[in-house]
Amino acid sequence: MHIVSTIPQARALFEVLPRPLGFIPTMGALHEGHLALVARARDESAAVGASVFVNPTQFAANEDLERYPRDLQGDCVKLQRGGVDVIFAPDAQAMYPDGFSSFVEVGEMGTRFEGAIRPTHFRGVATVVLKLLNIVRPDVLYLGQKDAQQTAIVRRALRDLDLPVAVAIVPTEREPDGLARSSRNVYLTPEERAAAPTLHRALQALRLAMAGGRAKADAIAAARALLSPLAELDYLDVVDADSFEPIEELRPPAFVIGAARFGATRLLDNLWIDG
């Protein structure tokens, strides 16, 4: 396995890997969720690349960029065990040199839900993903369903900008109590950790109530009641999977989505509704 930090080194190595090449972009602090993407890519590809980069442009000034968990050495061990061939781990200066000024504008989908709370987040995500794809040039990009709005926005951007890469969406890995695995779970206090699975339970209750024919507003009210008193809800809704527009019926393909703060930590979760 190779670990590279500059763009020319990365280009030279990725260029000569066998095809199809699968690629997994990450911000490191890797857990079983990331490794599910690696395993799927390993199964489906002749070679696998991954990136570890805490992307500053997707964090706002008041967010957790500085304290975001970092463990490059541990990440490399996990990626090597998972069968990754090349790891690209640049620093911010390599990705955003002085004078950097071009961004991917993601449009209205990037203004809803996560985008309403984090207005520049998806612009930063789409920009770094496109940069990484231009450096790595993979055949398949592996993304986690955990970040559902991110999958919709990236897929849209790749279609709109004609990037020749397929996208594979991998189901969310969860803790045994249902909490979606996330690098940010380490921020939770023991009380918040105990309360955090109520977000997943609220999503399941919302899905069940709507599948049973209840109107969305009623179903959301019933689901909210299942949240721990420690949870401050940002949103709970049902959206079309491609446009991320709210819909009134559980019409597939759709997501039941939710986000809540437990103390200083924001957690996201969703359920996929297919046919």
Q: How far is the CB of 48 from ligand AMP (least distance, A)?
A: 14
Q: Which one, 146 or 219, has the nearer CB to ligand AMP?
A: 146
Question: How far is 149 from 256, CA to CA, in rounded Å?
Answer: 11
Three-state DSSP at 37 gives helix
Residues that bind ligand AMP (CB under 6 A): 26-27, 33-34, 36-37, 143-144, 146-147, 170, 172-173, 180-183
Q: Would you say 76 or 180 has its CB closer to ligand AMP?
A: 180
- Provide the minimum distance between the beta carbon of 90 and ligand AMP in the complex, in angstroms, as a whole number: 15
191 torsion bin: left (phi>0), alpha (psi -120 to 50), beta (else)? alpha
Nearer to ligand AMP, 113 or 209 (CB): 113
Q: Is 34 a catalytic residue?
A: yes
Nearer to ligand AMP, 50 or 273 (CB): 50
Q: Strand 254-262 vs strand 265-273: parallel, antiparallel, or unpaired? A: antiparallel
d(C-alpha 61, C-alpha 218), whole Å: 37
Shortest CB 53 distance to ligand AMP, Å? 9
Tokens of 163: 């990037």
CB of 168 to ligand AMP, least distance (A): 10
Catalytic choice (2, 34, 121, 200): 34
Yes or no: say if 104 and 131 are a contact pair by the CB < 8 Å rule.
Answer: no
Q: Who contacts 99 (Cβ-Cβ below 8 Å, separation ≥6)?
A: none
> Which amino acid, one-letter code, is at 266?
R
Are the beta carbons of 48 and 142 closer than 8 angstroms? no
- Tokens representing 57? 């442009």
Q: How far is the CB of 171 from ligand AMP (least distance, A)?
A: 7
**Rounded to an integer, what distance in angstroms lies between the CA atom of residue 45 and that of residue 133?**
16
Q: Which is nearer to ligand AMP, 132 or 219 (CB)?
A: 132
Chain-centroid distance of CA 247 in Å reads 22
Which residues belong to the active site?
A: 34
